[in-house]
Structure 1
Amino acid sequence: MAQEYLLAKNKNQLGQIALSKSVFETIAKIAVEEEEQLALADGAFRSALTCKITDDQLIITLDVKVKYLAKVEEICARLQAKIYDSISHMSDYSPDVIDIRIVGFLFE
C-alpha cells in the first residue's frame, strides 16, 4: 500500500520528521517550470505529475510536452538530474525513480 509521507533519515531525541509526497511533487513541478523547452501536459482525467511512495521508495512520474525540434533526450536527462539534485538537496532524500513520459509536442 502506498504511503502519503516519508520519514526523514535524520533522527534525534526530539522526534521524527515526515515529508509529505506533495513536498516532492512541488519540488519537481518547480524544476519543470524552470525548463524552457518543455511543459507539463495538462490532462483532464489525471495529473501530469504524480509521486508515489511504496516500500520507502520515492517514484516520480511526469507527463510532459516538448517543444518541436528540441533535443528530447538531452532535455529529459537534464530535467531528471535537476529534479534529483533539487530533492536531494532540499529534503536529504534521493528519489529512486524519475520517469519522464513524452505525451506530445509544443508548436510555439
Structure 2
Amino acid sequence: MVELGKYNTLKAFRQTDYGWYLMDEAGTEEVLLPNKFVPENLEEGNELEVFVYNDSEDRVTATTQKPKITRGNFACLKVVATTNFGAFMDWGLDKDLLVPFS
C-alpha cells in the first residue's frame, strides 16, 4: 500500500516518456516518478525509496527530493506566500505546502 505524505520503497516497473512508474510491494498501486527525479541507471526491477505526495494537479506522484517534514510529524517551516485562504510553506519540494486558515 502506498502511503501519501511518507517515504515508500517502490519497485521500478515501466518506463514512459514522462518518467518511470513505480509499483508497491503488493503489485496493486502504481505511482509516477517524473523524469526530473529519476536517478541515473534506474532499471526495471530496481527498488527506490521515494516520497509520495499529491502534485499541483492532485495526482499521486513520487519524488526523490527530501521534504523537511512528513505526514504525522511537526517542523518549523518558512512562510513563502499568503492568500485569503491560507499560507504556503517551503517544505523542501517543488510544490509549496498549503496550510489553510480554516
> If the length of structure 1 is used for normalisation, what is the TM-score?
0.21
Q: Per chain length, whose mean CA-contact separation is higher, i.e. which structure has more relative contact order (CA < 8 Å, sep 6+)?
A: 1
- For normalisation by structure 2, the TM-score amounts to 0.22
If each structure's strand is expressed as a fraction of its own residues, which one has the higher value?
2
Considering fraction of residues, name the structure with more helix. 1
